[in-house]
Amino acid sequence: MRFPRYRLHRELSIETIISFSYRQLPKQYFSVGESHDFWEFAYIDQGQVEVFTDIGRYDLNQGDIIFYKPNLFHVGKTNPEDSPVLVNLSFECDAACMSFFPHHHFRLEQHELQLLTNLVKIGTEAFDPPVDSARMRFPNRWEGAKFGTEQLIINYLEIFLLELIRNGERRSDHAKPASVMKDNQQTSEVLKLIEYMTRHIAAEDLSIDELCNQFAIGRTQLKTKFKAQTGYGIMEYWRLMKIEHAKRMIADEQYNFTEIAECLGYNNVHSFSRQFKNMTGMTPSDYSRTIDVRFVTGKPFFRFTRDD
């Protein structure tokens, strides 16, 4: 007798992750902004984080999670008194149901948090170094991992996403950005400006007049909008962006200080070192020996795929 077979339908499937970390950010942490061709989520396990995206501005607190869809430019920062702890995971998924996430940030419920906790726990067992290590930059298979560890990461991640989508309708009130509509429009304009500055980070100098001409906006209006959204003056932010890029390059250990200065548009390594010290209180060489260098976010976009 031949029994009928029922083929189960998969709503989403994940085979590849790019990054996975559980880490503490330093006080006054500042992300220079990025966009990439894969999904990413950030869960705030402790503290607070402020996030700017093309969709809006978000004030995230402990227990909140936010998703960044592919190619969404996003910027994050912390306040001077707080060193938040985050779970970050980025992955590839082209399932239609992922359309639920781009406009959502919300607080996890207890059973969802348990799934995420299980996911992080398995992550500490799967890679070398583990996801909660300060040395973790991108996933590297640990040959000593227990049987089925990587498949459990896949299972927990897929179940976690499915549960968030299934519970989505009754959480619709939490799906709106922290800003009102007018503020969202200003946020989008400022994000475009930051993205432009990021693309021109290697420029020797960038003037407010150049930005005004590029975006067809008056000096006073531009400075007012930018300050209101970021808390920084434009040129202060520009210098900070360069220093944060420098921190990332120092952490990558692929360039010497002269090469970093050249990549970031400084006239010479001395002017670079002088500005670095003015903004951080230490020289680049001193910074390279600090604990803080472990928290720099510059991680390669490296795909880690489960072996079949």
The residue ranges of the chain whose pLDDT is under 50 are 173-182, 297-304, 306, 308
What is the token pair recorded at 291? 């604990």
CA 205 to chain CA mean position, Å: 26
What is the token pair recorded at 118? 């299980």
Q: At what angle do helices 234-252 and 181-199 cross, to 10 degrees?
A: 50
Q: What is the pLDDT of residue 175?
A: 40
Q: What is the pLDDT of residue 18?
A: 94
Cα angle value 32/239/285 (rounded, 5°): 85
Q: What is the pLDDT of residue 307?
A: 52
Q: What is the pLDDT of residue 152?
A: 95
Q: What is the pLDDT of residue 302?
A: 43
Q: How many CB atoms lie within 10 A of CB 4?
A: 4
Q: What is the pLDDT of residue 139?
A: 85
96/74 Cα distance (integer angstroms)? 22
**Element at 186 (helix H, strand E):** helix 181-199
Q: What is the pLDDT of residue 125?
A: 92
Q: What is the pLDDT of residue 186?
A: 64
Q: What is the pLDDT of residue 297?
A: 43
Buried b (16+ CB within 10 A) or exposed e, 169-193: eeeeeeebbebeeeebebbbbbbeb
245/272 Cα distance (integer angstroms)? 12
